[in-house]
Structure 1
Amino acid sequence: MRQLLFLSCFILAALPARAEESAPKTTAKLAVELNGAETQDNSCTLTFVITNGLGQDIDQAVYETVLFDQDGKVNRLTLFDFGALPQDRPRVRQFAVPNTTCEGLGRILFNGGKTCAGGTLTTSDCETGLMPTSRTKIEVLG
């Protein structure tokens, strides 16, 4: 009976470790949320909230972005420089897009990484880890 009790305790003690081992691993990501869009003085001010979950600080992150109008036509290509992004700490960045109203924009595409500097990070890390979302009517893709 003691052996059976010992064996049961041993099996139960091993279960949590096995459950953790079989749990899916989360991938590193750079969450970029379009949090707001406001037209002011014939410019569209885009507000982004960025959280760096790539595992190390980013000294500079620059993305080539494409802005599309409501009809799906390319409005312009531009670079958004998100600057320094500390690990696991949200940051807010704003970009004013001149001669454009926010109501005229339909979609923003993060076309590719231009710069991803910091530690051992590469531009590829910032591209594959990009997780764009939007809280506005403007769709954001990556």
Structure 2
Amino acid sequence: MRGFTKRSIVAALAICLGAGAAFAQEEAQGAHVSIELNALEPLDDACRISFFVQNGHDVDITQAVYEAVLFDAEGRVDRLTLFDFGVLPANRPRVRQFVVPGLACAGLGRLLINGAETCAGSGLPEGACSRDLELRSRTDVEVIG
């Protein structure tokens, strides 16, 4: 190997390995859960809330429960509740629906995801359900977190 020393080869390998590790770490940090408020449907003295949710991790979430705060149209807290999204398979979209009794859909002004009450699954990184949580809405109701 003319022009290459052992030291330069080792340095080049170290740079390549370091770049690979940094790329893998970026990939791991990019994995997150996304929750979209997809639809609101008025029912008799209740509101059906539909979410489109995706687990972007490489392992299944066996149970995901989020604490949510529902605000009325004037910005006042209406109630705190838990939404149990159940099993969220790795890299697969799911739709979850919740019927909230005594809630008029038209009176819902904002929904705050306060955090993950439960996040379980073998091999999940710490904070898997809440770190870099992506929130959005396809309704007039703002989703924040």
Q: TM-score range by the shorter chain?
A: 0.7 to 0.9
TM-score (norm 2): 0.78
Q: How many aligned positions are there?
A: 123
Q: Which amino acid aligns with 2:42?
A: T
The 2-side partners of 1:97 and 1:123 are apart by 30
Does structure 1 residue 40 correspond to structure 2 residue 21? no
Which residue matches 1:89? 92
SS of the residue corresponding to residue 128 of structure 2 reads helix
1:123 positional shift: 6.4
Q: Which amino acid aligns with 1:89?
A: R
Contact 2:33 2:128 (C-alpha < 8 Å) held by counterparts: no
Which residue matches 2:136? 133
Displacement over 6 Å in runs of 4+: 20-23
Pairwise CA RMSD of aligned residues?
2.0
Unaligned runs of 5+ in 1: 1-16
Contact 2:135 2:144 (C-alpha < 8 Å) held by counterparts: yes
Unaligned runs of 5+ in 2: 1-15
Residue 76 to residue 28, structure 1, CA distance change in 2 (3 Å) = same
Q: Which amino acid aligns with 1:110?
A: I
Q: Which amino acid aligns with 1:55?
A: D
The 1-side partners of 2:81 and 2:125 are apart by 21
The 1-side partners of 2:125 and 2:63 are apart by 11
Contact 2:45 2:101 (C-alpha < 8 Å) held by counterparts: yes
Does structure 1 residue 124 correspond to structure 2 residue 108? no
Residue 65 to residue 122, structure 1, CA distance change in 2 (3 Å) = farther
SS of the residue corresponding to residue 129 of structure 2 reads helix
The 2-side partners of 1:110 and 1:123 are apart by 18
Q: Which amino acid aligns with 1:127?
A: S
TM-score (norm 1): 0.80
Give identity over the alignment, percent: 51
